[in-house]
């Protein structure tokens, strides 16, 4: 049970054991002194905003809620969307470069040659990004908790742009491997950081759609990147250039990213407390607006018991295994989609152009499923629609003969609906995992699974299987099927946990504490916490 020490700090509930959610509520919190908790350094940073407001009622009218939401959306969503699109584009620039001369062997004319890599080396280039991501994922999540969230995120955006630009100077395979590794290191902060921004600024009923919107810019990036790469390739062919086309692609995307990172540093605050585009009064109201989340806006104190709870939580492991298995297909397709389209019978230049409609499919699927999930309250079940479409698409690619180029290309477009459950789970980390240390731990676990899957994925596309890559495609079909089963488990588990919480709150001895939402309790500790479905 939670107890207060002599110096005012709060000792976590039995720090050596997992909190049992269906324990008698009185046993969980009856010894907590509310006044001590309120001033404890272990509570959420949101409590500081309410100092001096004791005894006062802060009311939010519907008009004020809408006004705040419009202001938050106007300032945060555009920059989050653009940066997340660049996050995807920077990873897949390698795929464009692969059909623009990167893989060509050296020749006497250095300006018209690649870096001399083989098919298997290209697969390892695809995987190496995720080795860097994997190595730095947990440390960067701890830094996201310890350091100012907005500033640390901006630093990583600027740095990965600089690193990507350096790819234009690469002259051999070893240099390319180093660039891909450090690109993964700096991009490791983006997805967990954006999940924290979303939980920090938006209510649970808004998080699914907002996550879907900024993640959907992966699709916009695919459209934008394909058009830019196609334009560069055609322009270089017609007019010539002093730089190879694939080098220009890396320079354009890298320098654009760093420029946007500088804007991010100015626009995005660390939290509501230091937001320059909100008045002092609106900062308080913006925090009050998310009280219903039961999660606060941030806590810089590492709590060992929350780490242990995360590692013992079945929901956290379901998230992990979904990310691991679902991203084996993602790792293969994202690095080989240009070569897959070439294998359908199209030219390299056509592959750059014909890959863009897949981005449109992803955008529509993510926004539609995100909106419907929030609207009807079943994020996971609705997200399964996108994965089912992707499964059908991959079956078309495998089953149709080589002569059916259009049908196989349509199958590829359907596979681009596959991220809908990944995004739904990402939004569930925002809304269904409470306790700041636990949230950052679960986010790290999820993205470690993501990295591992993306490392494995390119290895299933072996050079000897070109141009059809049938073993890799069958692997994708199996992975999609397993993932559908994991999604069903997550939905059922959350339903069961909510029923347990109802029984706890209905007990006669249960008493809700003042400002319980700001005490940095985990989702299991807090009887008031309701899991979003």
Round to whole Å and give the CA distance between 152 and 154.
Answer: 5
pLDDT at position 43: 56
Query: What pLDDT digit, counting tens, does each position of 128-174 carry?
Result: 888 898 899 889 988 998 899 999 999 999 999 999 999 888 888 88
- The better pLDDT of the pair 406, 277 is held by 277
Q: How many beta carbons lie within 10 A of that of residue 18, not counting itself?
A: 16
Q: Identify the DSSP state of 278.
A: S
Reported confidence tier of residue 187, pLDDT bands at 50, 70, 90: very high
Which residue from 341, 365, 335 is spatially nearest to 353, judged by alpha carbons?
341
In DSSP terms, 10 is beta-bridged to 4
**Is pLDDT of 330 > 90?**
no
Phi, psi angle pair for 43, to nearest 5°: -80, 175
- Bridge partners, 3 (sequence order): 11
Q: What's the pLDDT tens digit per position in 26-79? A: 444 443 334 334 434 455 555 565 555 554 556 778 888 899 999 999 999 999
Q: Which residue has the higher pLDDT, 208 or 486?
A: 486
* DSSP codes joined into one string, 71-95: HHHHHHHHHHHHHHHHHHHHHHHHH
**197 versus 230: which is more confidently predicted?**
197
Which helix or strand (DSSP H or E) is residue 489 part of? helix 470-506
Grade residue 391 by pLDDT with cuts at 50, 70 and 90: very high
Q: Is the pLDDT of residue 516 over 70?
A: no
Q: Between 45 and 531, name the one with better pLDDT.
A: 531
**Could you report the per-residue pLDDT of 199-237, keeping only the tens digit for each?**
889 988 888 889 989 988 988 887 888 788 878 877 777
Q: For each of the domains in the chain, give its residue range(s) and CATH number, in order of start.
A: 76-279+301-506 (1.20.1250.20)
Task: Say what the pLDDT of residue 230 is.
Answer: 79
As a whole number, mean pLDDT of residues 458-467 equals: 72
CB atoms within 10 A of CB 339: 20
CA nearest to 511, candidates 83, 29, 2: 29
Query: How far is it, in rounded angstroms, from Cα 119 to Cα 132?
Result: 21
Give mean pLDDT, residues 488-515. 86
For residues 274 and 48, what is the distance between their CA atoms, to the nearest angstrom? 12
pLDDT at 45: 57
Q: Range with the lowest mean pLDDT among 90-94, 191-195, 375-379, 510-514?
A: 510-514
End-to-end CA distance of the chain: 28
More confident position, 335 or 362: 362
The pLDDT of residue 427 is above 90: no
Percentage of residues of the chain with pLDDT beyond 90:
31
In this prediction, residues 320-349 reach a mean pLDDT of 80
Q: What is the pLDDT of residue 455?
A: 83
Least confident of 13-22, 70-79, 249-258, 346-355: 13-22
List, in order, residues 6 or more apart from 49 with CB less than 8 Å away.
272, 273, 283, 284, 287
pLDDT of 110 above 60? no
Quick check: 355 pLDDT over 70? yes
Mean of the per-residue pLDDT values of the chain = 80
CA distance 170 to 182: 14
Residue with tokens 């700041």: 436
Q: Which residue has the higher pLDDT, 102 or 17?
A: 102
Mean pLDDT of 460-487: 84
Phi-psi bin for 211: left (phi > 0), alpha (psi -120 to 50), beta? alpha
The helix-helix angle for 245-267 and 62-98 (nearest 10°) equals 160
Q: Which has more confidence, 355 or 101?
A: 355
Q: Which residue has the tokens 């994020």?
A: 379
Structure tokens at 359: 């981005």
User: Can you spell out the DSSP letters for 164-223?
Assistant: HHGGGG--SHHHHHHHHHHHHHHHTTHHHHHHHHHHHHS-HHHHHHHHHHHHHHHHHHHH
130, two tokens: 């995720």
Portion of the chain with pLDDT greater than 70, in percent? 82
């Amino acid at each position: 049970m939670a107890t207060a020490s002599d110096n005012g700090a709060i000792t976590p509930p039995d720090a050596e054991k997992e909190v049992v959610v269906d324990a008698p509520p009185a046993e969980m919190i009856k010894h907590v002194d509310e006044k001590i908790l309120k001033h404890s350094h272990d509570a959420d940073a949101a409590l500081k905003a309410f100092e001096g407001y004791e005894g006062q009622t802060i009311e939010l009218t519907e008009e004020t809620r809408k006004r705040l939401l419009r202001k938050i959306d106007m300032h945060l969503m555009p920059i989050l969307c653009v940066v997340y699109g660049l996050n995807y584009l920077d990873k897949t620039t390698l795929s464009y470069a692969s059909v623009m001369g990167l893989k060509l062997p050296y020749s006497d004319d250095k300006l018209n040659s690649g870096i001399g890599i083989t098919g298997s080396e290209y697969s390892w280039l695809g995987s190496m990004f995720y080795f860097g991501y994997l190595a730095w994922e947990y440390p960067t999540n701890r830094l996201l908790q310890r350091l100012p969230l907005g500033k640390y995120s901006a630093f990583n955006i600027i740095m990965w742009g600089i690193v990507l630009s350096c790819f234009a100077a690469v002259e051999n395979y070893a240099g390319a491997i180093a660039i891909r590794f450090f690109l993964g290191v700096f991009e490791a902060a983006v997805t967990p950081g954006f999940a924290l921004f979303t939980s920090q600024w938006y209510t649970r009923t808004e998080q699914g759609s907002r996550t879907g919107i900024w993640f959907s810019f992966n699709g916009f990036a695919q459209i934008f990147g394909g058009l830019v790469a196609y334009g560069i390739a055609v322009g270089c062919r017609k007019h010539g250039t002093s730089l190879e086309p694939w080098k220009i692609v890396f320079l354009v995307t890298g320098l654009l990213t760093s420029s946007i990172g500088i804007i991010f540093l100015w626009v995005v605050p660390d939290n509501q407390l230091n937001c320059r585009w909100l008045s002092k009064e609106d900062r308080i109201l913006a925090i009050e607006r998310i009280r219903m989340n039961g999660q606060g806006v941030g806590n810089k104190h590492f709590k060992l018991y929350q780490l242990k709870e995360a590692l013992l939580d079945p929901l956290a492991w379901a998230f992990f295994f979904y990310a691991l298995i679902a991203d084996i297909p993602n790792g293969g397709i994202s690095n080989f989609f240009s070569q897959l389209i070439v294998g359908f019978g199209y030219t390299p230049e056509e592959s750059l152009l014909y890959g863009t409609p897949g981005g449109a499919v992803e955008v529509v699927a993510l926004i539609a499923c995100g909106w419907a999930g929030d609207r009807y309250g079943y994020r996971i079940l609705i997200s399964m629609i996108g994965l089912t479409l992707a499964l059908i698409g991959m079956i078309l690619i495998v089953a149709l003969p080589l002569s059916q180029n259009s049908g196989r290309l349509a199958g590829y477009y359907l596979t681009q609906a596959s991220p809908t459950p990944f995004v739904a789970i990402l939004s569930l980390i925002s809304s269904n995992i409470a306790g700041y240390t636990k949230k950052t731990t679960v986010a790290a676990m999820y993205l470690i699974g993501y990295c591992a899957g993306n490392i494995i994925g390119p290895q299933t596309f072996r050079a000897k299987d070109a141009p059809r890559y049938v073993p890799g495609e069958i692997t994708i079909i199996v992975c999609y099927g397993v993932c559908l089963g994991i999604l069903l488990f997550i939905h059922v588990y959350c339903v069961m946990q909510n029923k347990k919480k109802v029984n706890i709150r209905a007990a006669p001895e249960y008493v809700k504490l003042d400002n319980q939402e700001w005490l940095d309790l985990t989702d299991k500790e807090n009887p008031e916490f309701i899991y979003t479905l």
